[in-house]
Chains A and B, each alone.
Chain A
């Protein structure tokens, strides 16, 4: 397999110190950091059907050692995540090497567990009262009036068991302090997570951020169609600013962190 050879070369030629891919253990594909010391382990390298946030793991490693050179087996969504992490100075592109696996949306046979490739079935009750996983934001907007849209999203949000899995698994969520845990923004200690503010805060923070990998939706125990929700806010960003997160390594229209900006008071356009 070419991928194995390429990964071995990266390690043996010291282009990377560690290569993040997958291996099989007791029948399960799990992530693994391959190193030069055990380079032959790469013979067991797998392009996993299960996707894990390898980019987040890369950030964990870079945090421990900023000079570490990391190789990553990268699907298209990983590539978008990496671009975004470069944009936001979470990873240094000079320290990252990728071996790309393109699958989004491609005819490659070893697809990941992405809902674009194998759409998630939406149950009848959910179709009638909630939000269809596979609906497009534009159709959803066109087919339901605002009251209907609100009630459908409220149905979805009231199921939330506040695991924070959507945030925890997100490859582009890296803030040290999270608004979702701020007691003045979201009431702590209650179930469901305060409706609807918890999910609306997360959704606004995903605008210009979300690279549409869908890992959040996969991790959601309450089966909330989060991918669709964040696409809704991201569509707004691309419509207004022409910015698609992760598309290029360019500054996002929201990247004002670390800069002093002056805001002039102006009437709200409602």
Chain B
């Protein structure tokens, strides 16, 4: 049996508390506060202590879905990605890049936000990119 502790940052509010994920045989089993962290000094709130519960929730989406005849059906990544690429490309060609909007997220990483706005600006060709900071 393997048991290791992986440092991470809580993904709820903007405080940015340091956590340790207790990983047993490759699965996150528990969340502990990182005691020597400069932000939270080994303390957490109720959401932080239960951080692993949403990650391991059975409600998680398990793979890509594509709407067919009004219903969302399981698809492969190639099918889902190609369909999205095709639809975006066609709308862009017919109505111009500003007919597409992108909402990036205050929940995804810096790297992912960067790529999302790069995608919007360089690939779609519009500056219609925003996120829910206002909400």
Contacts and interface: CB of A to CB of B under 8 A. Distances in A.
Given A50-B42, A65-B1, A165 B33 contact: yes
B42 A31 contact: no
A20 B10 CA distance: 24
A61 interface: yes
Given A28-B7, A219-B43, A57 B49 contact: no
A29 B42 contact: no
Contacts of B69: none
Given A61-B24, A65-B1, A219 B34 contact: no
Given A52-B35, A61-B3, A163 B20 contact: no
A35 B25 CA distance: 12
A154 B33 CA distance: 27
Contact of A50 (B1, B2, B35): B35
Contacts of B1: 17-18, 33, 35, 61, 64-65, 68
Contacts of A168: 49
B30 A60 contact: yes
A164 B34 contact: no
Interface residues of A, number: 34
Give the interface residue-count category, chain B: 20 to 34
Interface in B23-57: 24-25, 29-30, 32-37, 40, 42-46, 48-49
B46 A219 contact: no
B119 interface: no
B4 interface: yes
A268 interface: no
A30 B44 contact: no
A68 B43 CA distance: 30
Contact of B43 (A33, A61, A221): A221
B45 A161 contact: yes
A169 interface: yes
A57 B3 contact: yes
Interface string A34-68: 01000000000000001111000100110011001
Interface of A: 17-18, 20, 25-26, 28-33, 35, 50-53, 57, 60-61, 64-65, 68, 113, 161-165, 168-169, 218-221
Nearest 7 pairs of A and B residues by beta carbon: A33-B3, A50-B35, A221-B43, A163-B45, A163-B46, A28-B36, A30-B5
Given A30-B34, A57-B3, 15 more contacts: A18-B1, A29-B36, A30-B5, A30-B7, A31-B20, A32-B3, A33-B4, A52-B32, A53-B32, A60-B3, A60-B30, A162-B46, A168-B49, A218-B42, A220-B43
12 contacts: A29-B36, A30-B5, A31-B20, A33-B2, A35-B1, A50-B35, A57-B22, A60-B29, A64-B1, A163-B45, A165-B43, A165-B44
